[in-house]
Amino acid sequence: MPLQYDPEWLALAGPKLEAQKEVLPVHDVTTRRVRYEQLFVGSTYTVPEDIELKVYKAPASGGHELAIYHLSKKGAYTLSERTPAVLHIHAGGFISVRASHVLRSLVPFVSQSGIPIFSVDYRWAPENPFPTPVEDCWTGLLYLRSQAEKLGIDVNRIAVMGESAGGGLAAGLTLLARARNFSPPLAKQILIYPMLDDRTVTDHSEGLAVFSINDVLTGWAAYLGEAYGTDNVSPLASPARVDDVTGLPPLYLDVGQLDIFLHEDLAYAQKFLASGIQTELHVYPGVIHAFQRWGAASHVVKQAFTNRLRAITTL
């Protein structure tokens, strides 16, 4: 039987999904930025009354001030307690989206877990190619650790979390933290349909993926610059290239079966399984990349949220 969409999800996603099916030319960053902004921003968003939002600035390379968006649930923890924390890295194909654009999607995790999330507003490629985005994420991680006492954070229970390109940056950040002997070690990495392998050039979804191979090629070319298409790509940029995952934090990873990143994500998770690192892997049949953005009332989207929430609450 050929691959097909989840019927319930498709019935709910249908009309909105159609607007995303136009395949843009490779390297057209400008038009993709417009499309992603329309998808992620949508309308003005105000956080609920039970959620507190703060924005910090951390000094980064080149004199840049890195914005970090802190979402917390009012009254979830007292000053005498220590809470786990999640350093979040947003999606956007390495070339677009701001941390402020994804607050709506993060609030339910904070509201239901009580665990704060800190979302890093890293700089975009191609204006800022590798290593700047992952170094910005490193800056965010160091800032979180440095402010842990003030913020009531348990430094032994810090996770990194990211979606799509943000998932790739989160994976790269864990490699960077291992290389630089970050201490205490990260407690977990939560990778949501991560973009991990610059060598991916084929759509295995039989044309159902929506997020096209052209988008993938555009993102990697922007992020890697002249190194793209060569063997001179660091695993810190393309984590799928790492050979040894020893010493990396436990892995949570989920991906749709119709996602272009399915095979690279499965191969990455297999490295952790083979190395005896605690791993939780979910493959959702019949859904595409970023499937929760459509068909929110479907069973598959609700199940994915439950699993992701549990990955956070078990820190």
Which neighbouring-strand residues pair with 153? Answer: 83
**pLDDT confidence of residue 41:** 65
**pLDDT confidence of residue 15:** 80
**pLDDT confidence of residue 79:** 64
Which neighbouring-strand residues pair with 54? Answer: 70
List Cβ neighbours of 306 (8 Å cut-off, separation of 6 or more): none
**pLDDT confidence of residue 75:** 86
Q: Which helix (H) or strand (E) holds 174?
A: helix 165-179
How is the beta sheet containing 51-59 ordered, strand by strand? 51-59, 65-73, 117-120, 83-89, 153-163, 188-192, 251-256, 279-284
pLDDT digits (tens, 9 = 90+) for 7-61: 999 999 988 788 778 899 999 999 999 988 877 765 678 999 999 999 999 999 9
- In angstroms, rounded to a whole number, what is the distance separating the alpha carbons of residues 160 and 13? 29
Mean pLDDT by 10 residues, the chain (315 residues): 94 84 93 85 81 97 98 82 96 96 96 97 98 98 97 97 98 98 98 98 92 95 97 97 98 98 98 98 97 95 98 98
- In angstroms, rounded to a whole number, what is the distance separating the alpha carbons of residues 19 and 35? 10
Instruction: Determine contact, residues 85/157, Cβ cutoff 8 Å.
Output: yes
**pLDDT confidence of residue 119:** 98
- In angstroms, rounded to a whole number, what is the distance separating the alpha carbons of residues 207 and 260? 10
Give the amino acid at 263. Answer: H
DSSP 8-state code for residue 292? G
The CATH architecture that domain 7-313 belongs to is 3-Layer(aba) Sandwich (3.40)
- In angstroms, rounded to a whole number, what is the distance separating the alpha carbons of residues 98 and 40? 9
**pLDDT confidence of residue 224:** 98
Which of 175, 103, 110, 183 minimizes the C-alpha distance to 142? 183
Measured distance between the N- and C-terminal CA atoms of the chain, rounded to whole angstroms: 40
C-alpha distances (whole Å) from 223 to each of 67, 98, 240 are: 20, 16, 15
Q: What are phi and psi of 46, to 5 degrees?
A: -115, 130
Task: Give residue limits of the domains in the chain.
Answer: 7-313
